[in-house]
Amino acid sequence: MDDSGLADLFAKGDEDGFAAVYTAFRGPVYGMAVTMLTDRGLAEEATQQAFISLWRGRGRYDPMRDLAPWVFGIARKAAIDVYRRERRGPAMSAVEVPEVPIEPLSTERLWEAWQVRRAVDDLPADEAAVVRLAHFYQLTHSEIATQLGLPVGTVKSRSHRAHRRLAAALGFLLDEPASASGATDD
């Protein structure tokens, strides 16, 4: 389902629409939180908080607005809240601790991470496995072939198809300088 279909579904405000949004965005929300917080436990917490905020704020969502930047803004805020709390540490006294002015990663960088994660999530599973082994594990084509039990030629063709798909999905990122972004600061 594309984002406009999701937006219409979510705007209804019922559980089915929320479940569809959760399925579509759980990866990018969690991935952005991992990118920002570099801790999976905190990222899980931020993800859950983001979707709780989404559910509570569903009445304020205007379906005429793009859904992805709206979800991104809420997810980013949830991750920043967790980050600030962790930076501040546990309360040791009733003395108010000044809020830490932070911006661990710029909105533009986080928006890029969000978009790349969405493109990765949209890859077919067999292509995603090859891209993952190539980039995350830094394996060569022949190492990937060994790992997956495939001929090297198959790995090469899958890898090419996958990267072409990524290049197409992320064309707008690759066209634009880093400062351009569809994300808004909420």
Binding site for another protein (CB under 8 A): 15, 18-19, 22, 26-27, 29-35, 38-40, 43-44, 47-48, 51-52, 55-56, 91, 93-94, 109, 112-113, 116-117, 120, 131-138, 147, 159-160, 163-164, 166-168, 170-171, 173-178
As measured in angstroms, the least distance from the Cβ of 126 to another protein is: 14
As measured in angstroms, the least distance from the Cβ of 69 to another protein is: 18
Pick 64 or 87: Cβ nearer another protein: 87
Pick 4 or 38: Cβ nearer another protein: 38
DSSP string, the chain: --HHHHHHHHHT-SHHHHHHHHHHHHHHHHHHHHHHH--HHHHHHHHHHHHHHHHHTGGG--TTS-HHHHHHHHHHHHHHHHHHHHHH-S--SSSPPPPP---SS-HHHHHHHHHHHHHHHTS-HHHHHHHHHHHTS---HHHHHHHHT--HHHHHHHHHHHHHHHHHHTHHHHHS-TT--S----
As measured in angstroms, the least distance from the Cβ of 74 to another protein is: 13
Pick 7 or 133: Cβ nearer another protein: 133
Pick 68 or 166: Cβ nearer another protein: 166
As measured in angstroms, the least distance from the Cβ of 20 to another protein is: 10
